[in-house]
Every structure is written in C-alpha cells, then in structure tokens.
Amino acid sequence: MSERQEAKAEARAEREAQEAHAARKAATRQRLIWTGGGLAAAAIIALVVVLAAGGGDDPANGEQAAVEIPAAKETNLKAASTAAGAKTISYKWSYGTGAHTTDPVKYPTNPPTNGPHHPQWASDGDYAGRATPQTEMLVHALEHGRIEIQYSPDLPAEDVAQLQALYEEDPAHLLLFENATDMPAQVAVTAWGHGLLFDSFSPQVFDAIRAFKTTYRDKGPELVP
C-alpha cells in the first residue's frame, strides 16, 4: 500500500472514531434528558397526589370547614321568641300596600316592616359581605312575601357565618344582609308588617328565626314566585 493510501486510511479511521464518540455522547445526553424528565414528571404526579389527599384539611388551600349551627328544637313561634328574648315589632298590615315611590321613606319601625316602597324590589339572596340593597327596595321584597334576616354591622364575623349557614339551610324567598338603618338590635328578622328584634346573638335565635319564617313566609299581600 502506498503512503498516500495509508494516509487516507488513517484519516478515515480517525473520522469514524470521532463520529462514533460523538454518537455515544449524544445517546448518553438523550438518556439523561429522558431520565430527568421522567423524574420530574414523577415528582409532579406525587405532589398532585399529596395535595389531593391532604388539601381538604389544610386551611391554606382556601377550604373552609362547615359552619355548625344549633339544630332545630322549638317550632312554636311564641315559645321560641320568648326563649331568645326577642322584642316583637308590628305595624298595620295594610300600611303602604301597593304604594310606590322613588323618594326616601321615613318608616315608623326600625327596621321597617311595611310601608311605601321603591317600584323595584330587592332580589332574594345572601348579601353578607356585599352592598346592602336600598331600604325601600327591601320593603318591597317584604310585600312579596319575603323574609329578611339582618344583622348589625358590628356583629362578629363568626356570628355572621352562622347566619349564612342558617340562610343556606332553607333559602327560599329569603334575604340576608347587613342592616343599614341603625336598628337597635344585633339581629332582626322581618316580614310584611311583622318583625323580631334580638338584643344579643344566642343559640335560641336560630329557632326563633326558623319559626318566624314558617309563620310569615309567602304571606305578603303581593306574592311573587
């Protein structure tokens, strides 16, 4: 073999060796990528499983434990109201029936139970933590047979949460909101022409509100479904 041929053979062998080495490096790098990706995926899956299994008990996840309220015991309105120390308010039932106005109204009771009111009525719902509807709209809702539970602005948050739980227990034709009339009570419940005021928030208040709802809900002069 000539020297020229030997040089070509050596060059070819060196090139082939370099190519084989590069191929081995590439294969090793790819295996590392696959392995790393698999480990990362496994870590993510494990994290999801841990969060799913334990997240429900962790307050940091935004989950709130169910709020407990006293179970129903007394269903008689008079007995339940007496036990809760409620003050009864009422006004002539026909006062303001069908009387619409867009002007502010001075009501004879606080909170108001009936009288002239805004042409638009407040929708049913839990308004805790939201703006309280206009008083005259709330009175119109009473005319439609609604029951309204309202609480003083200084009622503790945990008590408000309990009122929300009471609302959720039976929310049909019911409104819950923060009082905006500076009522002389911590909690009140009203219907058209009737109301109960509670100076303090106690476990007995729940039965009194329940019995009041049973007695007066859907009894307004202009029931709207």
Q: Residue with structure tokens 């006004």?
A: 91
Is residue 222 included in any domain, yes or no?
no
> Please, are residues 163 and 151 in contact by the beta-carbon 8 Å criterion?
yes
CATH number where 167 lies: 3.40.30
Task: Report the distance separating Cα 120 and Cα 105, nearest Å.
Answer: 14
What confidence tens digit (pLDDT) does each residue in 72-91 have? 999 999 999 999 999 999 99
* Helix (H) or strand (E) segment spanning residue 80: helix 77-83
Q: State whether 83 and 192 are in the same domain.
A: yes
Question: Considering the entire predicted model, what is its pTM?
Answer: 0.73
Q: State whether 130 and 200 are in the same domain.
A: yes
Is the bond leading into 133 cis (omega within 30 degrees of zero)? no
> Looking at residue 66, what DSSP letter applies?
P
Q: State whether 48 and 141 are in the same domain.
A: no
Q: What are phi and psi of 191, to 5 degrees?
A: -135, 175
79-111 exposure pattern, b = at least 16 Cβ within 10 A, e = fewer: ebbebbebeebebeeebbbeeeeeeeeebebbb
In whole numbers, what is the pLDDT of the chain averaged over residues? Answer: 84
Between 204-216 and 157-169, two packed helices, what is the crossing angle to 10 degrees? Answer: 40
Q: State whether 55 and 82 are in the same domain.
A: no
Cα distance from N-terminal residue to C-terminal residue, the chain: 108
Strands 194-198 and 87-90 turn out to be antiparallel
What is the model's pLDDT at position 224?
83
Q: State whether 87 and 195 are in the same domain.
A: yes
Rounded average pLDDT over 179-198: 98
What is the model's pLDDT at position 9?
55
Q: State whether 52 and 12 are in the same domain.
A: yes
Coil, helix or strand at residue 160: helix
What confidence tens digit (pLDDT) does each residue in 101-131 have? 999 999 999 999 999 999 999 999 999 999 9
Torsion of CA 70, 73, 75, 78, to 10 degrees: -80
Task: Report the distance separating Cα 5 and Cα 68, nearest Å.
Answer: 95
Rounded average pLDDT over 158-183: 98
Q: State whether 90 and 149 are in the same domain.
A: yes
3-state secondary structure 28-56: HHHHHHHHHHHHHHHHHHHHHHHHHHHHH
Beta bridge partners of 136: none
Domain range enclosing 173: 77-216
If one counts the domains in the chain, the total is 2
What is the model's pLDDT at position 211?
98
> Please, are residues 194 and 81 in contact by the beta-carbon 8 Å criterion?
no
